Amino acid sequence: MTISINPNILREYDIRGIVGDTFTEEAVEQLGRAFGTRVVRAGGKSVAVGYDGRLSSPALAAAAVKGLTACGLQVFEVGRGPTPMLYYATYALNSDAGLMITGSHNPPDYNGMKLMLSGLSFFGADIQDLGRLIEAQDFENGEGESTQRPLLNGYVERILSDFKPGRDLKIAWDAGNGVAGEAMRMICDKLPGQHSLLFEDIDGTFPNHHPDPTVEKNLVDLKKCVADQACDLGIAFDGDGDRIGVVDSQGRVLWGDQLMVIWAKEILSRKPGSTIIADVKASQVLFDEIARMGGQPMMWKTGHSLIKSKMKELESPFAGEMSGHIFFKDGYYGFDDALYAAIRLISILTQTDETLDSMLDGMPKMINTPELRFDCPEDRKFAVAEEVKARLAGDTTLKVIDVDGVRVVTEDGWWLLRASNTQPVLVARCEAKDEAGLVRLKANLVEQLEASQIAAPDF
């Protein structure tokens, strides 16, 4: 009998589908068999498995364990916790691979998987290969076993071990009812200062707001808490705890690329000349500031798996994305962990009298759009960026960076157009030195979209 799964759930960086439809327990068991087969054929013997706070996650994790043990693997069930807790488990338990059941920040009816093998992200062609193995039922067989190895306490202790005490702070925290809530509470119980916690109860229906701190409307409650409690800052997490959002005492959002300036300054003070990586959506301010502070800035492709791989290749101590995925190899393991990033930010603030507000005020000012996402057919999205690149070839008034889509640099600033690797959408962003320049950049972007017969976003 031929068994197949919906190929649409096999994304570039992870696996995601609708629970009970494209992402069932049967499908997850098959994916467990396929991933377990890859682990065995890579010489691996053990896999750590964790799951997030979604209602469907415990049963789906059990299905994954069933598939993995059928390959003869030793499975360590580390329990419920953030995705970075699962990454940490692969190091703490010395496992050969990791499998996390998580829907990240998708709507409640979604769930998925994030995978690691031999210390590296498992993504791209490797994820597509799982579908091939399932189609062919080409699996390794064996009699593995599963043991319970809860790791939340150890994970929290590891994060806290890098905290640097100093002046006390007042901090508001918002877990958005995501799986980071329990760890967030445990961390705050051990930290000095005053802490106001919002929505720390894990609830897979996300009753208060969607757990995505990169969408500003999801930070309304956090901003209000910061104002009401006169906090120094507010910190928010996404649904599985691998992305961070931050606001200052005035409720102003510090986006991922702005936060990176603060972390990079501290790291470069100790490790001058280091290569620091940021994705193609990041502000030019970040790249300029890294260079000014004595670092080597590198622009790379968007995507947590791609960034992690590049970090390893270049031995970079620090990297990040505008979306709030932040990666510390300096003192940590090089994976994206929002709770750890929070501790590193707080530790910088405790060591100085300078406020987060003044750090933001001290950064060069640019005028930019948020990340703009708009529909584009799956079979057109990559082609559009190539068409734009071809049309702009030979224009000596422009500089075209094609690391990921096209980032077009002009005298006014830059605009970006790239295809999402996970959805049938195009992603755009513009940044200029002044309002008039931003208007011109937007017009350039719209002109190129219309030339490719794509409806421009409303911005």
The domain total for the chain is 3
CATH number at residue 224: 3.40.120.10
State which of 364, 379, 405 marks the end of a domain. Answer: 364
Same domain, 258 and 384: no
For residue 2, what pLDDT is reported?
A: 58
User: Pick from 418, 424, 389, 391: which is nearest to 405 by CA?
Assistant: 418
- Residue 456 falls within a domain, yes or no? no
For residue 457, what pLDDT is reported?
A: 77
- Residue 1 falls within a domain, yes or no? no
Same domain, 184 and 301: yes
pLDDT < 70 regions, the chain: 1-2
Same domain, 203 and 288: yes
Give the C-alpha separation, 140 to 36, whole Å: 8
Quote the pTM value.
0.95
Both tokens of 203, joined, read 């609830």
For residue 176, what pLDDT is reported?
A: 97
- Residue 457 falls within a domain, yes or no? no
Longest CA–CA span in the chain (Å) reads 68
State which of 150, 171, 197 marks the end of a domain. Answer: 150
Q: Quick one: DSSP state of residue 105?
A: T
Same domain, 374 and 440: yes
Same domain, 187 and 263: yes
Same domain, 319 and 432: no
Both tokens of 404, joined, read 């990921």
- Residue 270 falls within a domain, yes or no? yes
- Residue 459 falls within a domain, yes or no? no
Give the C-alpha separation, 340 to 454, whole Å: 40
Same domain, 382 and 446: yes
- Residue 258 falls within a domain, yes or no? yes
For residue 70, what pLDDT is reported?
A: 98
Same domain, 47 and 67: yes
Same domain, 143 and 29: yes
Residue carrying structure tokens 């002044």: 434
For residue 364, what pLDDT is reported?
A: 94
- Residue 201 falls within a domain, yes or no? yes
CATH number at residue 384: 3.30.310.50
Same domain, 278 and 346: yes
Same domain, 194 and 315: yes
**What percent of the chain is modeled with pLDDT above 70?**
99
Q: What Å distances lie between residue 3 and 14, 136, 191, CA to CA?
A: 21, 8, 51
Both tokens of 43, joined, read 């010489």
Residue carrying structure tokens 């691996």: 44
Give the C-alpha separation, 73 to 119, whole Å: 17
For residue 421, what pLDDT is reported?
A: 81
Domain residues for the domain of 442 are: 367-451
What are the start-end ranges of the H helices in 57-198?
Answer: 57-69, 83-92, 125-136, 152-160, 181-190
Is residue 298 within 8 Å of 276, Cβ to Cβ? yes
| Catalytic positions, written as ranges | 104
State which of 337, 364, 391 marks the end of a domain. Answer: 364
- Residue 428 falls within a domain, yes or no? yes
Same domain, 93 and 13: yes
